[in-house]
Amino acid sequence: MRLEDVADELNVNLPQVRSLVRSGDLPAIKIGGRGVWRVERSELEAYIQRQYTVARESIEAGSIEQESAE
């Protein structure tokens, strides 16, 4: 998936996805001479599952923050 597609899927902006890739939280590969970044769908799904685990642990620890109204 292109980074733009990942951003759409997660409903976040492109710089946030780039930050996830840079930090290593979301594994990606660089393809071709122009250096186009791609994320495998399986890696995105694994990232999402890890985030569910983090959220679950936060809830269990009683440290869930209330989201601001959109």
pLDDT tens series, the chain, 70 aa: 999 999 999 999 999 999 999 999 999 999 988 889 999 999 999 999 999 999 999 999 887 765 544 4
Helix 3-10 vs helix 14-23: crossing angle, to nearest 10: 110
What are the domain boundaries of the chain? 3-60
Name the token pair of 5: 């597609």
Q: What is the pTM of this model?
A: 0.81
